[in-house]
């Protein structure tokens, strides 16, 4: 899918007239929500030459968004990442509105609080003020796009466009088609992300989509290792960085994301999968949230960020580090293989998502092929035998690959 136009396939019934109103070019983009994510998406669109309206009924939040955009683009110009003329043109493309009625876009991207009822209420209201051919996109990271679309009179116009924070820096966009999303809408969202210089991937509307589903063991298994006393926080992080090749260790990353945010996503995925033990949240992380140890933003998380706090020192044990890496990556690779089994996305899009969305050192499916399915199956089965928990069940596809000697990407 390349270029700026998208073919539209004719539909029958009430959706036919709706779809005929879709525009293959992109005029004004509406962003609802002026927080960090909404502001970041607006910056991406404006830098790509798009006219943008940021809408928020909180006028103080709008003012903060405008100030942030001026500051960010000003710093980019000062560092000569962009020219002053490019800064001025980008800022001129962005306007601000305190009322939804001020929106007249071809696409609206919602970036409000991660709450299903709030998003459903917003989308119902949006349908009353936008044109019949306007596409409605949600930036939800873990909620059901189908449930959000279900609140609309024309659910076929709704699609997921999950940007990653910070949106101007991270290239990935998960395009999520719900069970109602029309093919033309999905394709337009994909092309729009491409036109903005992003790397889009297609995902089914299943809990966690691609990244937030497959990444759960990176955090969950690290927390299990901590709870079992296998290693402390700095040692697990050191192992995953220095031996595993990850840019950040799991505890460093949880502190950066925010333990409250990370815990909420884990709980959302766990509940959406009807309490599948593979995604069970950690009581340790829950206690961190209850204590207010949220990470960098609170000054204390798994690490102490207070001025003068002593540096955490890992145990430099290569054999221990290898055991840590083998266990966490085996769970990650098993999850990625299972995502292929359940048709969450194509193997290529899964590997692209994990490298572009969360900066994994390599695609997990490519990594699985290099490691060997039989080796991975042995690691997962050893954990299952030790703990007798369904958390450590191997994917049916991993079992098949091990039995046949095949690889995810073929021989």
**Active site members:** 141, 162, 174, 212
How far apart are alpha carbons 135 and 158 in whole angstroms? 6
- CB distance 284 to 307 below 8 Å: no
204 sits in which H/E element: strand 199-204
Residue closest to 328 by CA, chosen among 211, 206, 245: 245
What the block records as the tokens of 47 is 């830098």
User: And the tokens for 316?
Assistant: 């430099």
Where does residue 319 rank: exposed (0-12), middle (13-18), buried (19+ CB within 10 A)?
Answer: exposed
Query: What pairs with residue 158 in β-bridges?
Result: 136
Distances (CA, A) of 326 to 211, 250, 381, 383: 20, 14, 13, 11
Q: Is the dihedral of CA 157, 62, 144, 124 positive or negative?
A: negative
Beta 29-32 vs 94-97: how paired, if at all?
Answer: unpaired
Nearest of 336, 375, 379 to residue 358 by alpha carbon = 336
Beta-strand ranges (E) seen in 72-184 are: 94-97, 107-110, 135-138, 158-163, 172-177
């Amino acid at each position: 899918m390349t270029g700026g136009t998208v073919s539209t396939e004719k539909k029958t019934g009430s959706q036919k007239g709706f779809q005929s109103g879709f525009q293959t070019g992109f005029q004004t983009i509406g962003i609802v929500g002026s927080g960090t994510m909404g502001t970041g998406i607006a910056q991406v669109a404006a830098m790509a030459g798009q006219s943008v309206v940021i809408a928020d009924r909180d006028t103080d939040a709008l003012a903060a968004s405008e100030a942030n955009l001026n500051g960010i683009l000003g710093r980019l110009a000062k560092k000569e990442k962009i020219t002053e003329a490019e800064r001025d043109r980008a800022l001129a493309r962005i306007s601000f509105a305190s009322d939804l009625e001020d929106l007249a876009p071809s696409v609206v991207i919602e970036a409000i609080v991660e709450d299903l009822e709030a998003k459903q209420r917003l989308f119902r209201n949006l349908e009353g003020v936008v044109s019949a051919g306007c596409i409605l996109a949600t930036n939800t990271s873990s909620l059901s796009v189908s449930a959000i679309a279900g609140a609309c009179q024309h659910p076929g116009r709704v699609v997921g466009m999950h940007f990653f924070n910070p949106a101007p820096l991270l290239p990935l966009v998960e395009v999520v088609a719900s069970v109602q999303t029309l093919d033309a809408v999905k394709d337009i969202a994909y092309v729009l992300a491409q036109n903005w210089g992003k790397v889009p991937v297609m995902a089914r509307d299943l809990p966690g989509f691609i990244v937030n589903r497959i990444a759960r063991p990176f955090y969950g298994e690290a927390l299990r290792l901590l709870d079992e006393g296998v290693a402390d926080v700095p040692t697990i992080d050191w192992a995953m960085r220095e031996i595993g090749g990850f840019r950040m260790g799991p505890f460093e990353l949880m502190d950066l994301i925010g333990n409250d945010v990370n815990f909420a996503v884990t709980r959302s995925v766990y509940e959406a999968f009807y309490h599948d033990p593979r995604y069970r949240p950690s009581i340790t992380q829950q206690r961190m949230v209850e204590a207010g140890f949220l990470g960098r933003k609170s000054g204390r998380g798994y690490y102490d960020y207070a001025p003068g706090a002593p540096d955490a020192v890992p145990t430099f044990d290569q054999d221990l580090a290898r055991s840590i890496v083998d266990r966490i990556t085996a769970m990650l690779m098993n999850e990625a293989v299972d995502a292929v089994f359940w048709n969450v996305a194509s193997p290529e899009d899964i590997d692209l998502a994990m490298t572009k969305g969360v900066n994994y050192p390599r695609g997990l499916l490519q990594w699985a092929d290099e490691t060997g399915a039989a080796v991975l199956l042995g690691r997962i089965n050893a954990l299952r035998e030790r703990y007798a928990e369904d958390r450590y069940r191997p994917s049916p596809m991993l079992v098949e690959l091990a039995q046949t000697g095949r690889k995810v990407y073929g021989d």
